[in-house]
Amino acid sequence: MTRRQLLQAAFTAALSSAVWPGARAQTPFPTRPVTLVNPYPAGGGADSVARAVARDLSQDWGQPVIVENRPGAGTTIAAAYVARAPADGYTMLLSTTQHAIAPAIFKSLSYNYLTSFSPIAILSDSPFFLVVRPDRGINTIDDLVAELKQKGGAMNFASSGPGSLPHLAGAFLNQLTGANATHVPFAGTAPALTALLGSQVDFLFADTSALPNIQAGKAKAIAVSSAQRSPVLPSVPAVQESIRGFELTVWTALEAPAGTPQAVIDRVHEAVYKVLRSPGMTRLYAENSRQVVNVTPAQFSAYKQAEVQKYQKLARDAGLKVE
């Protein structure tokens, strides 16, 4: 299932839910606190989504939904933790595109991303912003590519960790332009952005958590990684307007350990899309260039498989390997 097919499926699913509200019988879940395991440090774009969804689910369910940050090892620490958790829905994984990348770059994992989890819902889809410091003298993607070709490995780029999607984006940019920028990994987007602003690195593919710094003029966005420009920054071009074939976006989602009862999966799925339709979440997504993708668990499962295959090819073509 491609991203275009996914969005088409989302439209169909949205119509179905509108026609048949409340069709599913309610299951008594949850009856105690729920833990949402976030594979990134606090302060990043995924963390902001996790905390907003957790807050609204808590209000909807009348039970605490606790966000627990377990960063590290390219999101695999959090995934391994949830894969071992009881399959009852009380421990869920905030999964991201990164989890679809992990099988391509790690030799061995203690879990199988396609079989160790029960897909629930896709929370959002959003671009990365290619950012530099405003005083760097780089105003366009063409400016960056020209300097990359001139300085080679003396130029460097930050990422949110080894094997992360921003790492892959930088390697992909190297591949498509013939550049050789050096990768400098950090433990999340927040410290990577801090390093950029502190003149430690030259550029970064940053998630939506960088928008406040961009809008305040502290960081300069010279391109977005999606196929189209972002409504939030309409004057900023897409990378592929200059470099054909470059398109990467990041999705965030909810998954539970494999074997979680279908009634629980359906209950969480229904509640998630209810809170995502709220005015507060709609405003948050609009301000942060995020898009709701309303699909069924089965459609999400098919999309996961396609994503794993896509990133296996991208990682191989870019020569990206962590282990």
What average pLDDT does the segment 48-64 reach? 96
The predicted-structure confidence for 228-280, as pLDDT tens digits, reads as follows 999 899 999 999 999 998 988 899 999 999 999 999 999 999 999 999 999 99
Return d(Cα 94, Cα 105) in angstroms, integer: 20
Number of domains composing the chain: 2
CB-count burial class (<10 Å; 0-12, 13-18, 19+) for 201: buried
- pLDDT for position 8: 54
Output the pTM of the full model.
0.78
The encoded tokens of residue 166 equal: 């921003």
Q: Are residues 195 and 274 in the same domain?
A: no
Residue 121 φ/ψ, nearest 5 degrees: -160, 150
Q: Taking 80 as the threshold, does the pLDDT of residue 20 lie above it? A: no
CATH of the domain at 33: 3.40.190.150
Q: What is the DSSP string of 241-291?
A: GTSTT---EEEEEEEEETT--HHHHHHHHHHHHHHHTSHHHHHHHHHTT-B
Q: Which amino acid belongs to residue 25?
A: A
Q: Are residues 22 and 121 in the same domain?
A: yes
Taking a C-beta distance cutoff of 8 angstroms, is the pair 18, 12 a contact?
Answer: no
Q: Taking 80 as the threshold, does the pLDDT of residue 153 lie above it? A: yes
Q: Are residues 226 and 287 in the same domain?
A: no
Return d(Cα 304, Cα 96) in angstroms, integer: 10
The predicted-structure confidence for 169-218, as pLDDT tens digits, reads as follows 999 999 899 999 999 999 888 899 999 999 999 999 998 889 999 999 99
- pLDDT for position 288: 85
Q: Which of 253, 242, 236 is nearest to 290 (CA)?
A: 253
Q: What 3-state DSSP class applies to 158?
A: strand
Q: Which of 181, 213, 241 is the last residue of a domain?
A: 241
CATH of the domain at 200: 3.40.190.10
Q: Are residues 86 and 226 in the same domain?
A: no
- pLDDT for position 3: 55
Q: Which of 221, 241, 261 is the last residue of a domain?
A: 241
Q: Taking 60 as the threshold, does the pLDDT of residue 1 lie above it? A: no
Domain assignment of residue 165, given as a range = 129-241
Element (H, E) at 69: strand 65-69
Q: Are residues 199 and 109 in the same domain?
A: no
Q: Are residues 34 and 84 in the same domain?
A: yes
What average pLDDT does the segment 109-117 reach? 97
- pLDDT for position 2: 52
Q: Are residues 96 and 44 in the same domain?
A: yes
- pLDDT for position 152: 85
Q: Which amino acid belongs to residue 150?
A: Q
Does some domain include residue 323? no
Give the pLDDT band (50/70/90) at residue 322. Answer: low
Does some domain include residue 65? yes
Does some domain include residue 212? yes
- What is the share, in percent, of the chain residues with pLDDT greater than 70? 91
Element (H, E) at 126: strand 117-127
Rounded to the nearest integer, the mean pLDDT of the chain is: 89
Q: Are residues 22 and 84 in the same domain?
A: yes
Give the pLDDT band (50/70/90) at residue 314. Answer: confident
Q: Which of 223, 241, 259 is the last residue of a domain?
A: 241
